[in-house]
Amino acid sequence: MKTKGTRKNIVNIVTLGCSKNQVDSEVLLTQLRGNQINATHEANNDDANIVVINTCGFIDNAKQESIDTIIRYADAKSEGLVEKVYVTGCLSQRYKDDLEKEIPNVDAWFGTRDLSRLLKQLNANYKHELVGERILTNPGHYAYLKISEGCDRPCSFCAIPLMRGHHTSRPIEELVTEAKNLAKNGTKELLLIAQDSTYYGLDLYKKRNLAELLKKLSDVEGIEWIRLHYAFPTGFPLDVLDVMAERPNICKYLDIPLQHGSTDMLQVMKRGTTREKTEALLQTIRTKVPNIALRTTLIAGHPGETQKHFDEMMAFVERARFDRLGVFTYSHEENTHSFSLKDDVPEKTKQKRVEQLMDLQQQISFELNQAKVGKTFKVLVDRKEEGTFIGRTEFDSPEVDNEVVLNTSDYLRLGDFVTAKVTRASEFDLYADVL
Ligand code: SF4
């Protein structure tokens, strides 16, 4: 890193955590450049003299990664390698008072809804005319579209409402403008994200309006895939399924975190539903949208989870045969309802239960993938790795789901769609010949 005094102001934004944080960093990057400020994202050179760390405060591991990153840059500042260190995002929102004392070398701390104040600190002004514009930090053929901020759900284990505040939907017009701008710049796939996407509109339009939003986005020229993430099972708006079934550019894909498969635990976790209702909903989804790929997330080791509850969850996963599954160990988070309960499942048992669920899912995923051998799919080319092109089908979200390893002698353009026939499959990947 160059020493002080020899450089122009360059701001380097470092993003930790989820896709929602990534969008916040992209909005910050767009606003800074819109103010003629030289800003980069995760620059791996060390030209920047100002660093903004967009942190995650979700669960233990993520918090530790954020703290380690802050300390690394705070140390770089004391070594004269950077001049200013600013921290924003969920960890800062949640623990600012403690962190200010523990890491005094940070110049200022900002919350999750503090963009204007952060921009001011960086000698920039918030530009309304840039709403709907966004510089992407991932390959431009896909983009996350954050449809709302915050969450009003009472899930007992979750600290997100503490960090992100109440649910606030973004107006449909603003989202359509953003989608049009992204499409104009080459985006073909939109990934709709939120804390709870199915709550969309209840605040702004006094009704669940996700189906309407999907229709409007589906009409945007150039958008070939629209993917729905972070749906919530309780009060799921069934009209969304009708739009998904009728619109070819809405992926037959749904990410719906369910968190547990035992009715007793779902009630302790304040999920407002039962295993029976959940299974009925999954049945309805699969009936209304045939061949839909379902992704879910589960938590193992929540306070009060007995072996019997866990066995119920294993049986639930065996019956449901999800296409994609992620499992977390329960994290005892201050100021959540669950924090008042005894964290009575030993860490070792939590880990073992995660492994058991993932072993079961690996077998299910292998079987589901075998059924794809011999079939032909539309594949979006994401990247080239050691001379091999890698892509995804509409049943796979970037960074978290399966991939397609493409066999071709042609040179493919990243972001192009190709048609490919699956020749073999492993647990989590497909191998296909480009036709
Ligand atoms: S819906 Fe998701 S973000 Fe909201 S409280 Fe529940 S788990 Fe947390």
DSSP H stretches of helix in 289-385: 307-320, 347-370
Q: Tell me the pLDDT tens digit for each residue of 7-55.
A: 568 999 999 999 999 999 999 999 999 999 999 998 777 789 999 999 9
Q: Is 383 helix (H, G, I), strand (E, B) or coil?
A: strand
Q: Which of 90, 93, 153 to mutate to test the pocket of ligand 1 (most atoms within 8 A of CB)?
A: 153
| Amino acid identity at 193 | I
The pLDDT assigned to 7 comes to 57
Which of 62, 125, 126, 71 lies closest to 89, judged by CA? 62
- φ/ψ of 177, rounded to 5, equals -60, -45
Could you tell me the distance, in angstroms and rounded to a whole number, from the CA of residue 158 to the centre of ligand 1? Answer: 6
**Residue showing tokens 């020229």:** 221
pLDDT at 4 over 60: no
The pLDDT assigned to 1 comes to 43
- Region of 415 (left: φ > 0; alpha: ψ -120 to 50; beta: rest) is left
341: which DSSP letter?
A: S
As a whole number, mean pLDDT of residues 173-177 equals 97
Contacts of residue 426, defined as CB under 8 A and 6 or more positions apart, other chains included, come to 366, 369
The pLDDT assigned to 296 comes to 98
Q: Is 155 in the pocket of ligand 1 (CB under 6 A)?
A: yes
Q: Which of 158, 162, 256, 268 to mutate to test the pocket of ligand 1 (most atoms within 8 A of CB)?
A: 158
Rounded distance, CA 257 to CA 237, Å?
A: 15
As a whole number, mean pLDDT of residues 99-113 equals 97
Q: Is 66 in the pocket of ligand 1 (CB under 6 A)?
A: no
Could you tell me the distance, in angstroms and rounded to a whole number, from the CA of residue 157 to the centre of ligand 1? Answer: 9
- The CA-atom distances, in angstroms, between 109 and each of 80, 87, 183 are 20, 5, 34
Rounded distance, CA 277 to CA 300, Å?
A: 20
Q: Is 160 in the pocket of ligand 1 (CB under 6 A)?
A: yes
Rounded distance, CA 85 to CA 156, Å?
A: 34
The pLDDT assigned to 422 comes to 98
Could you tell me the distance, in angstroms and rounded to a whole number, from the CA of residue 156 to the centre of ligand 1? Answer: 9
Residue 42 vs residue 302, higher pLDDT: 302
Question: Could you give the angle at the alpha carbon of 259 between the alpha carbons of 254 and 262, nearest 5°?
Answer: 120
pLDDT at 252 over 70: yes
Q: Tell me the pLDDT tens digit for each residue of 202-226.
A: 999 999 999 999 999 999 999 999 9
The pLDDT assigned to 204 comes to 97
Contacts of residue 262, defined as CB under 8 A and 6 or more positions apart, other chains included, come to 275, 305, 309, 310, 312, 313, 316
With beta carbons less than 8 A apart as the criterion, state whether 201 and 210 touch: yes
What pTM did the predictor assign?
0.95
Which of 4, 22, 1, 2 lies closest to 13, judged by CA? 22
As a whole number, mean pLDDT of residues 385-398 equals 97
Could you tell me the distance, in angstroms and rounded to a whole number, from the CA of residue 265 to the centre of ligand 1? Answer: 16
The pLDDT assigned to 141 comes to 98
Q: State the pLDDT confidence band at 81, using cuts at 50, 70 and 90.
A: very high
Q: Is 158 in the pocket of ligand 1 (CB under 6 A)?
A: yes
Q: Up-side HSE of residue 7: CA atoms within 13 Å toward CB?
A: 18
pLDDT at 189 over 50: yes
* Proportion of the chain above pLDDT 70, given as a percent: 98
| Amino acid identity at 206 | K
For residue 161, the ligand 1 atom closest to its alpha carbon is: 5
As a whole number, mean pLDDT of residues 244-261 equals 98
Q: Is 196 in the pocket of ligand 1 (CB under 6 A)?
A: yes
The pLDDT assigned to 8 comes to 67
The pLDDT assigned to 47 comes to 82
Q: Atom 2 of ligand 1 has which residue's CA nearest to it?
A: 195
Q: Is 232 in the pocket of ligand 1 (CB under 6 A)?
A: yes
Q: Is 153 in the pocket of ligand 1 (CB under 6 A)?
A: yes
Q: Atom 8 of ligand 1 has which residue's CA nearest to it?
A: 158
For residue 195, the ligand 1 atom closest to its alpha carbon is: 3
Q: Is 161 in the pocket of ligand 1 (CB under 6 A)?
A: yes
**Residue showing tokens 């509109």:** 201
